[in-house]
Amino acid sequence: MPEVKPEMTASDRYDIAIIGAGPAGMAAAVIASARGASVILLDDKPRSGGQIYRNVDASPLDKPQVLGPDYLRGAELTAAFAACSARYLPATQVWHLGDNGEILCSRNGATLRLTARQILVATGAMERPFPIPGWQLPGVMSAGSAQVMLKSDGLVHDNPVFAGTGPLLYLIVAQYLRLGVPVAAVVDTTPLANYFSAMRYALGAVREPAMLLKGVGLLNEIRKAGVPVYRGAQGLEVIGNQSASGLRFQSGGQQHEIVAEQVFLHQGVIPNLNFTRALGLEQHWNPGQLCWQPALDQWGQSSVAVISVAGDASGIVGADAAERNGRLSALNMLARLEKISLAERDQQASADLQALASLNAFRPFVDQLYRPLDSHRIPDNPDTVVCRCEEKTLGQLRAGFEMGAREPNQLKSLTRCGMGPCQGRMCGHTVSELLAKWRDEPVENVGYYRLRSPMRLLRLAEMSNFTELSARDALVDTLATEVKP
């Protein structure tokens, strides 16, 4: 692993700053740094790889192969990233991005400030909220969080019930089974009707046969392991008083109850909007993916001149497309910085653009197949908690609506829904969809919370220890000890 080279002393300004060391961010860093731009990549994790390739080169597992070939492929990218000349600040929590190119982050208990000519937001996805009765109880966790525990600490829970829909859910179940961890049941909420409605996109899907087979293979693997799989499940409800004791649902015309102390929920992922919303980028509601996403051109250029977005943060695209997105954004930024010509950009982009066209044709099929049920996104039980931080129920939100709150910020001001530690990052989509339903209008008209910095809880002590732009030495000191993954 190469150390940061001596000539790479830190400067307080960069041509390109990249936020996030997942596939999009790493691929962008590799390209951009190879073509003469000064590049810095900031990532909140101690190692590169993002969520998908988390710890790919330092797995706590004896046999990381159980995590699957897609995961292991990430090692190639992390290696290329490690070899590139981009500056890399791991374990650095970016908490503010400005449309003026300002970047503020927490690092070693202090606040650090940098500026960049161009910023690439590659902050990936987050799991879609799953607001069902009882989802706020201890013992309920997102399946993605369960996977994080597995990838970073090798921690698993025995006999959980997995519920929801989407390829990631099946993958995590398969990873559990390959490790020999017993699974109580898989409650598949993929609506059976989706199998038919998705068929109209099947033509696009056959262009990517490998991806098409992936999901089918995982489900077969789960069934062969003897785990009960309930199909077309709906009406999910976590049972329990102080903590989860099981899951209740309907499937095949019958009511079922599974006893489990751990309930892992997942119904797909949505773009991480923290930065793109706080930056005020123009956004649209994607009715196919049922999520907000920034308005971007094919290069990931946003409505704000200095900001580009790549990977799942731009709309759910998957790891392969994210990597290509990252390269395209990098090429475009290089052209804007006059490091390459427009002709060079177009020429070097053509292979990725072509591959993306094929991947994009596959996407609608997946989106339609794993489209979560309305009733699992838009709660209708007045007691269902929508905002877990402030413990606001659907009934309380409805009362706010009756009092005149018509858009998310008014609802927040009236009810405190979205005012807690997560600042509405969890309940934002639910609230947009709820208000759209109540107003009987498209979600696009309803809008979203005004997100603000900091992007996460920021310790006052950390903030007060502010390293000014001009204080270059502090950054040099921290960088001198930095090594690539």
Partner 1 sequence: MKRSSKADVVIIGGGIQGCATAWQLAQRGVSVAVLEKDTVSRHASGVNAGGVRLLGRHLAEVPLSIAAMKRWHTLDNDLSGDTGFRARSLINIAADEQDLDTLNKRQQLMHSQGYFHEQLIDVKELRERLPHVADHCVGGVLSLQDGYAIPYQATLSFKRAAQLAGATFYEGQEVKAIRKLGNDWLVSTHNSEFEAPKILNCAGAWADLISVMIGDNVPMSYSAPMLGITARMPHFATPVVGAVSRPLSFKQFENGTVLLGGGAKGFADRANNRTRLDYSLMAAGARNAIEFFPIMKTASINRMWSGLEAYMPDNLPVLGPSARSENAWHAFAFSAHGFQLAPIVGEIMADLITTGGCQFDLEPFRVNRYERKVL
Specify the residue, 330 or 451, whose C-beta has the smaller distance to partner 1: 451
User: Which range of residues in 55-63, 95-103, 269-277, 328-336 is near partner 1 by CB under 8 A?
Assistant: 95-103
Closest contact distance (angstroms) between CB of 265 and partner 1 is: 25
Closest contact distance (angstroms) between CB of 115 and partner 1 is: 13
Task: Kindly identify the residues of this chain, within the stretch 136-175, that bind partner 1 according to CB under 8 A.
Answer: none
Indicate the helix (H) or strand (E) that contains 374: helix 374-377
Specify the residue, 48 or 423, whose C-beta has the smaller distance to partner 1: 423
Which residues are bridge partners to 162 per DSSP?
Answer: 186, 264
Assess 98 for contact with partner 1 (CB under 8 A): yes
Which residues are bridge partners to 292 per DSSP?
Answer: 285
| Nearest-angstrom CA–CA distance, 169 and 8 | 42
Assess 4 for contact with partner 1 (CB under 8 A): no
User: Which range of residues in 148-156, 203-211, 440-448, 449-457 is near partner 1 by CB under 8 A?
Assistant: 449-457
Closest contact distance (angstroms) between CB of 338 and partner 1 is: 28
The backbone torsions φ and ψ at residue 37, rounded to the nearest 5 degrees and listed phi first, read -90, 145
Tokens 């070899």, located at residue: 83
Find the DSSP H helices in 44-166. 69-83, 143-153
Structure tokens of 369? 């197949």
Which residues are bridge partners to 125 per DSSP?
Answer: 271
Task: Kindly identify the residues of this chain, within the stretch 394-413, that bind partner 1 according to CB under 8 A.
Answer: 404, 410, 413
Specify the residue, 169 or 281, whose C-beta has the smaller distance to partner 1: 281
Give the contact letters, 269-298, x = binds to partner 1 (CB under 8 A), - = no.
-----------x------------------
- Please state whether 129 falls in left (phi above 0), alpha (psi between -120 and 50) or beta: beta
21, 77, 82, 104: which one binds partner 1 (CB under 8 A): 104
| Nearest-angstrom CA–CA distance, 17 and 436 | 36
* Number of residues engaging partner 1 in binding (CB under 8 A): 28
Distances (CA, A) of 120 to 51, 94, 311: 17, 13, 10
Q: Could you say which DSSP state residue 306 is in?
A: T
Closest contact distance (angstroms) between CB of 99 and partner 1 is: 8
Structure tokens of 361? 């044709």
What's the distance, CA 76 to chain centroid? Answer: 21
Closest contact distance (angstroms) between CB of 110 and partner 1 is: 10
Specify the residue, 97 or 233, whose C-beta has the smaller distance to partner 1: 97
Structure tokens of 22? 């997942």
165, 423, 430, 432: which one binds partner 1 (CB under 8 A): 423
| Nearest-angstrom CA–CA distance, 448 and 435 | 10
111, 118, 165, 393: which one binds partner 1 (CB under 8 A): 111
Q: Is the bond into 454 cis (omega within 30 degrees of 0)?
A: yes
Specify the residue, 251 or 467, whose C-beta has the smaller distance to partner 1: 467
Task: Kindly identify the residues of this chain, within the stretch 451-480, that bind partner 1 according to CB under 8 A.
Answer: 452-454, 457-461, 463-466, 468
> Are 38 and 11 a contacting pair, CB within 8 Å?
yes
Specify the residue, 351 or 457, whose C-beta has the smaller distance to partner 1: 457
| Nearest-angstrom CA–CA distance, 341 and 386 | 50
Give the contact letters, 172-211, x = binds to partner 1 (CB under 8 A), - = no.
----------------------------------------
Assess 441 for contact with partner 1 (CB under 8 A): no
Closest contact distance (angstroms) between CB of 420 and partner 1 is: 8
Closest contact distance (angstroms) between CB of 469 and partner 1 is: 9
Closest contact distance (angstroms) between CB of 406 and partner 1 is: 8
| Nearest-angstrom CA–CA distance, 139 and 344 | 53
> Whose CA is closest to 270, among 314, 304, 212?
314
Structure tokens of 69? 């070939």
- 137 by Cβ neighbours in 10 Å (0-12 / 13-18 / 19+) ranks as middle
What's the distance, CA 336 to chain centroid? Answer: 27
Specify the residue, 19 or 143, whose C-beta has the smaller distance to partner 1: 19
User: Which range of residues in 99-107, 223-231, 281-289, 348-356 is near partner 1 by CB under 8 A?
Assistant: 99-107
Interface residues toward partner 1, by CB under 8 A: 96, 98-100, 104, 111, 113, 280, 404, 410, 413-414, 420-421, 423, 452-454, 457-461, 463-466, 468
